[in-house]
Structure 1
Amino acid sequence: MPGLRPQFGGERQRLHAVRAPLPPAALRPVGMSGPSGTRPYLIRRLAALLVGTVIACAALLTAYYGVSRNSPAVDGRTTPAIVEVAAAETSLEASFTAAKAGLTGPAGPVEGAGEEYRAQLNAANQALEQAAMSTVAGDDGQQTLRTASGLVSSYGYLIQQAVRSGTDGVLRDAYVAAARSTLLRPESGIVDRLEAVQAAQRGVLGQQVSFGRLLALAWTVAFVLCGGLVWLLIDTQRMLRRRFRRRVNPALAAGTALLTALVLSLTVLAVQIQRQLHAAAERIEHDRTHGGIDAGTLHWVNAALRGTQWRAAATGWIALTGALIAALVLIGLQPRIDEYRFRHQGPARPADSPVSALLGVGARTQPVTAAVLAFWLVTIGGMAYGDRQDEHRSRVTVLASWSGPEKQRFEKVLKAFSSGTHRAISVSYQGTTALREVLLSRERTGDPPDIAILPSRGEAADYAARKVLTPLDGVLPKSTLDAYGPQWTSRTGGRVYAVPVKADLKSIAWYDAAAPPRDLTALAADGAHWCAGMGGDDTSGWPGTDWIEDILLQQSGTRAYEQLANGGLKWDSDVVARAWRTFGSVFTAGPARTALAEDYTQGLFHSAGPGACALEHQGTFIRSGYPQDRHADFVPTPRLLPGADPRSTAREVSADYAALLHDSPQARELMRFLTTDEAQRVWSEPDQDRPGNPFRPFFPFFPGRPPLSFPNDEQLNAHIDRELRGASALCLDASDSMPPRMRFAFQHGVLDYLSAPGPRKLSQVLRDLESVRKGIAPRGDRVCGGS
């Protein structure tokens, strides 16, 4: 037995030789300087792997989220929003078809518009309500849908008026035409508004299904970073195999495999989601161009995207897998680091923090790790913030009656406001000719615009009496309010509730300046030569009220005119009846029927041939709708109207009033801006691409201002300015100064009278108007004043 001792001793020595690490100088990686350098090297490698895991997983999360987040958005919001708007549009068009068929059918006088019309109208209202809540077209799209909802009320009112006029085919058809105009009027009609929202929503859908450059860059960065992390894991494996003579580190190998599997699986899932999103968008576009979008479209898209729900949930895998990879890295490297726990000679280093102890990283790597973790948090927070970036912006909504070029001109004023010292305030504008219906609808649903540009002082007074408006005494400077004077402001109880922002000259007749008629007076005596369309959505008939008011002003003077506006003059009085008879002498049966069938926009230059009209009785705003290559001029109506004093210089004018409905600091700022010289300068400046500036507004409510100067290509505007300054009296539009109830009755009376112009119909119309006047208390507002 003693002889065996040396053998055991030699075996023990051989075992120690096998188990002992190789000399550091033989196998140390770059940066190692013996055992004392191995532990710092491993700590740095551990920190690099942990930081790399955080960065790679953050990049992968960003890239995958960019694809996966669009799936529930397309399925749960964008497609339903598109379907709701399409359903509203389809139902409205079907309702008009049903109403027209019912009203003109043999049972029209009994059944009216019919049950199908009512069912389709109710369906349209419900679809619009849902669309306004779910639209992806942003705040502007939501405002447009709310305006459209108000226009639907106007459309329904016109159909009701057509039903009431069922036995009078001419008047019934006039209301049906007005309803059709409300529905289909270019740009400002309900259908075009819905199409604008739909275009915006399809744009959002296109962005959601698009694999754009930013998303491609995100995936490229994610692949590069994940590839770099895989390389770092494999390189660490090689280093450990050389240093510790172990073929495989199971934890690091598992982490490498897990990361590779994660990248591959997420890539496959992202491709599948993207294909399904494209399929959904293609189906929506196909249905839009082949029969229309409906509930079947929504069902197909829901079925197509059903499998994307669990794929989108895979974003949760990334953080979990990243944490697991980090844990495997710690498991793989921490034991190797622990094998080199020894005390260095030299100055003592700071003790590791608890976080360092937990992660196994030194104090020198903490700033890097902290910076990367902060970057990850900022990245994820930025992704969440990007979806809600517009939610807290200050926004002011404005509702007015302007559309087309007038709208574009006013939007320049609003842009000047937002791009100046008020960059933090954005303005959303909605224009509609059925302003009252839209405004009432939004007010009653608790969603009024911040500012409304009202077309009349009487309407402003009505809203002020119902406590809808905010007094402007504390909003606008006293010097500004005093400059307007009592004629131009809407006052109730001694307080100012609305101020004009622009005005238009009336009491004029337009003609083609390139081929002026030889005898305007003779031409004007025949209504067939007048462009006098009465259509104007729910305000249809207002061009006729302008005629009668102007005739009364030129025949009987400012006193009778002001009495009519304030409710102090009977409708069946001699002077008023005379004005109506003069109107009827021009618009006899043929011209009256034409006027009822046409819209007010079908005016001068909009027709050609032997039957084209040559004169138009309209305010100066109408010139903005004339073709750019045509030249118009005007003559004051006292020279043309039968029984008028040709020497009269009294002129009817209209004004648009700004009123504050929803009081906020931002809305107050815009109200103040609209009354400044800067706003009026922007409003008046000429367009670079169109000579003559046919959109220039006028501001006669500041009589103390010096005369305007006009360039050579604005001689027409200079003519308008001379008429305004040379008028002995400027009288605000009489019907605009009336309470809304009286004004609407006046407009309907015009349409009723033109359906059968003659003494019998006139007596009936005046009797009806007088019965309305008796139910309204007279007012003492100043309507006429010196220029």
Structure 2
Amino acid sequence: MNGRSPTAFWRARLSGVRTRRLLETHLVVVLVCSVVAVSTLLVSYRHTQRAAETLADRQAPAVQGLAATRLAVLRAHWEVQNLVDLGLVDVAGAGEQYRAQLSAADQGLSRTGDRTDQDLGTVNGLFTTYSTSITSAMTLYHDQPIMQEHKRKEARSLLVRARVGLVPRLDELQRQELDRASATATMGWAQRGGWWLAEAALLALALTLLSALFVLRDRCGRDWNPYLLVALVLTVLFAVVPLVTVFIAQDRLDDVRAGLGEITQASRAVGFGPELVGRQEALTGMSEVVRQDLAVGARTGRVYQGAVIGGLLIVVLPAVGLWLRLGNDYWRRR
């Protein structure tokens, strides 16, 4: 720049460009940058908001429901086995625990069916058959040891038979739902690219607005244009607030993904034993943490509404400001 200041350098470079043409160029660049920035940012932001809503409404409850169902049906079988080992089958009220666990498993499957697109018909059928067999062993054949043992073995086979049993099928459903939830909670390269494009366009817009303000003040002798000043402030806010909100939301979604993985792992109980009680209690605590993390969806919704209004102003205000100045100073004179 031969020792000259940046302002003097650019003033010399632009001195040969007519002011009207320069302002018209600024108007076109402002429109292009604002439209690209606002549309790209809103689409990227909406993707994160929808991911939080989908996880909260469908996928996270499905993963939690399958985990709770798996533990409940295993505990029901253990409770039955425990009653037989202790010789309490004929004691009044002794079967309340296994019935409660069967009821919890049934409710878990019902809630999961409302939140997943997967076909649970086979799993529901297996659960109904298992429930019938284990209930028959404890009620209909409670005083016939041979038939009771046969029904218990039949129920156990329905429960844990490799690949086709109720528990293996629940494991497969858990894996599929967890994969879906993980994919939803992960910010892909396309979305990251959208954020980079939006921020780059907002930076270009801010620089163009500063240049337009400089041209109006230096070439036209005008005071600071209020339309451009407000648009510049909104551009800075638009570049910062949604980005910070999304990064906080994405951090929570990463926690949700990790939490759902822990819930699934905690439900993978091996065998039947009293440790099932502890796992159910742990599952309740982990599910509450996941629900708290998912509450971020409501906050992203509020910010999105404000971003839509701010985005419209960012597109309209600088265009109106430059359009009015061009109309008053140049176009009407032609």
TM-score (normalised: structure 2): 0.82
3-state secondary structure, aligned to 1:246: coil
Code of the residue aligned with 1:57 in structure 2: it is: V
Identify if the C-alpha distance between structure 1 residues 323 and 160 changes in structure 2 by more than 3 Å, giving closer, same or farther. closer
- Residues 192-591 of structure 1: matches in 2 within 5 Å? 192-246=168-222, 248-290=224-266, 291=279, 294-337=283-326, 338-342=328-332, 344=334
1:263 deviates by 0.8
Which whole-Å CA distance do the structure 1 matches of 2:87 and 2:264 have between them? 35
Contact 2:209–2:232, Cα closer than 8 Å, also in 1? yes
Verify: 1:123 aligned to 2:98, yes or no.
no
Verify: 1:50 aligned to 2:26, yes or no.
no
Question: Match for residue 7 of structure 2?
Answer: none
More strand by share: 1
3-state secondary structure, aligned to 1:99: helix
Identify if the C-alpha distance between structure 1 residues 49 and 174 changes in structure 2 by more than 3 Å, giving closer, same or farther. same
Which whole-Å CA distance do the structure 1 matches of 2:252 and 2:187 have between them? 13
1:100 deviates by 2.4
Residues 360-410 of structure 1 show CA distances to partners (whole Å, capped at 9, x for unaligned) of xxxxxxxxxxxxxxxxxxxxxxxxxxxxxxxxxxxxxxxxxxxxxxxxxxx
3-state secondary structure, aligned to 1:313: helix
Which sits farther off after the overlay, 105-114 or 147-156? 105-114
1:29 deviates by 5.8
Question: Match for residue 89 of structure 2?
Answer: 108
1:313 deviates by 2.6
Which whole-Å CA distance do the structure 1 matches of 2:240 and 2:207 have between them? 16
Which whole-Å CA distance do the structure 1 matches of 2:286 and 2:168 have between them? 22
Contact 2:217–2:223, Cα closer than 8 Å, also in 1? yes
Residues 714-767 of structure 1 show CA distances to partners (whole Å, capped at 9, x for unaligned) of xxxxxxxxxxxxxxxxxxxxxxxxxxxxxxxxxxxxxxxxxxxxxxxxxxxxxx
Which whole-Å CA distance do the structure 1 matches of 2:308 and 2:86 have between them? 68
- Residues 583-662 of structure 1: matches in 2 within 5 Å? none
* Greater C-alpha Rg: 1
Code of the residue aligned with 2:80 in structure 1: it is: A
Which whole-Å CA distance do the structure 2 matches of 1:211 and 1:237 have between them? 37
Verify: 1:174 aligned to 2:161, yes or no.
no
Residues 398-456 of structure 1 show CA distances to partners (whole Å, capped at 9, x for unaligned) of xxxxxxxxxxxxxxxxxxxxxxxxxxxxxxxxxxxxxxxxxxxxxxxxxxxxxxxxxxx
Contact 2:52–2:296, Cα closer than 8 Å, also in 1? no
3-state secondary structure, aligned to 1:233: helix
CA-based RMSD: 2.7
Question: Match for residue 436 of structure 1?
Answer: none
TM-score (normalised: structure 1): 0.37
Identify if the C-alpha distance between structure 1 residues 122 and 342 changes in structure 2 by more than 3 Å, giving closer, same or farther. closer
Which whole-Å CA distance do the structure 1 matches of 2:163 and 2:94 have between them? 26
Identify if the C-alpha distance between structure 1 residues 307 and 212 changes in structure 2 by more than 3 Å, giving closer, same or farther. closer
Contact 1:60–1:318, Cα closer than 8 Å, also in 2? no
1:303 deviates by 2.3
More helix by share: 2
Code of the residue aligned with 2:237 in structure 1: it is: A
Which whole-Å CA distance do the structure 2 matches of 1:286 and 1:97 have between them? 23
Higher relative contact order (CA 8 A, sep 6+): 2
Contact 1:61–1:318, Cα closer than 8 Å, also in 2? yes
Which whole-Å CA distance do the structure 2 matches of 1:27 and 1:189 have between them? 78
1:302 deviates by 2.3
Contact 1:184–1:190, Cα closer than 8 Å, also in 2? yes
Aligned partner of 1:158 among 114, 133, 154: 133
Which whole-Å CA distance do the structure 1 matches of 2:13 and 2:86 have between them? 101
Which whole-Å CA distance do the structure 2 matches of 1:112 and 1:147 have between them? 32
**Percent identity, aligned pairs only?**
25
Q: State the number of aligned residues.
A: 308
Code of the residue aligned with 2:48 in structure 1: it is: V
Which whole-Å CA distance do the structure 2 matches of 1:92 and 1:186 have between them? 16
1:209 deviates by 2.5
Question: Match for residue 66 of structure 1?
Answer: 47
Which whole-Å CA distance do the structure 1 matches of 2:58 and 2:163 have between them? 26
Identify if the C-alpha distance between structure 1 residues 279 and 117 changes in structure 2 by more than 3 Å, giving closer, same or farther. same
1:130 deviates by 0.7
Which whole-Å CA distance do the structure 1 matches of 2:129 and 2:94 have between them? 15
Which whole-Å CA distance do the structure 2 matches of 1:311 and 1:158 have between them? 49
Contact 2:57–2:115, Cα closer than 8 Å, also in 1? no
3-state secondary structure, aligned to 2:245: helix
Which whole-Å CA distance do the structure 1 matches of 2:27 and 2:240 have between them? 25
Code of the residue aligned with 1:182 in structure 2: it is: L
Verify: 1:95 aligned to 2:100, yes or no.
no
Verify: 1:83 aligned to 2:64, yes or no.
yes
The runs of at least 4 consecutive aligned structure 1 residues that moved more than 6 Å come to none
Contact 2:30–2:319, Cα closer than 8 Å, also in 1? no
Contact 2:67–2:263, Cα closer than 8 Å, also in 1? no
Residues 459-491 of structure 1 show CA distances to partners (whole Å, capped at 9, x for unaligned) of xxxxxxxxxxxxxxxxxxxxxxxxxxxxxxxxx
Question: Match for residue 561 of structure 1?
Answer: none
Contact 2:68–2:283, Cα closer than 8 Å, also in 1? yes
- Residues 729-740 of structure 1: matches in 2 within 5 Å? none
Which whole-Å CA distance do the structure 2 matches of 1:275 and 1:230 have between them? 28
Identify if the C-alpha distance between structure 1 residues 339 and 214 changes in structure 2 by more than 3 Å, giving closer, same or farther. same
Which whole-Å CA distance do the structure 2 matches of 1:176 and 1:251 have between them? 79
3-state secondary structure, aligned to 1:294: helix
Contact 1:83–1:295, Cα closer than 8 Å, also in 2? no
Which whole-Å CA distance do the structure 2 matches of 1:158 and 1:298 have between them? 31
